[in-house]
Structure 1
Amino acid sequence: MGLFDAILGNAGEMSIADATEELSTILGPNEHIEIAYKLVRDMIVLTDQRLLLIDKQGLTGKKVEYRSIPYKAITMYTVESTGHFDLDAELKVWVSGQSEPISLEFNGKTNIYAMQGVLTAKIAGK
């Protein structure tokens, strides 16, 4: 992920090993990360059990919000790929009980179809 993507607020893929090490304290005993993305300090992680949105706050990033969304709570999602003039991809996730979707942006190098495949398998069944 480059500086330009960070300025625009676009997430890029990160290694599963790095994500597992960083999140080892909050993952369940048999929970495994399937795909992970990083945006400067924040992370978007899809495990075999849930969608995790990690928001590091403040100057030091010591205060962290972990938003855990079980796949059964996701009612719908949309994926928008990159275009000629729109260089970022977007994921919108609707969670039951919320009227507005959670909107996440990814840089053009991110394989948005890999993420969509994981979400489809978890939400629509294996």
Structure 2
Amino acid sequence: MHFILSMEENHLYDVLDAKVINQGKKEEIVTIANIAKRCLNLSGKNRPSMIEVAMELEGIRASRKDIDFQQHYQEVEYVRSEVTEPWDVVSTSTSSTCDSIAPSVDIQPLLIN
């Protein structure tokens, strides 16, 4: 009864755990609280079946996955646009590979006797 009265008096957040409040989205919390309130109905005839509850909760989970997927996709697209392609990299080396194979003036040729 305390939960139902808290909802009816718009004090839902007074009875919820802080972790739920901090990690949940307001609309999801309210939706789930309304499902819980229906489950607590004193008349069994007015309570939803467990199949109905499971379907409603699955709908919430599916919509959350869609939102999470869209946010993840947007983050990946942002990161992808920030990545430098290999051909865009400018070399900071002062010598080329040809310099390293070119003969040095300090080296004497081999003399065969």
- Report if TM-score (shorter chain) is over 0.5: no
Structure ranking higher on relative contact order (CA contacts 8 Å, 6+ apart):
1
Q: TM-score range by the shorter chain?
A: under 0.3
Which one has a bigger Cα radius of gyration?
2
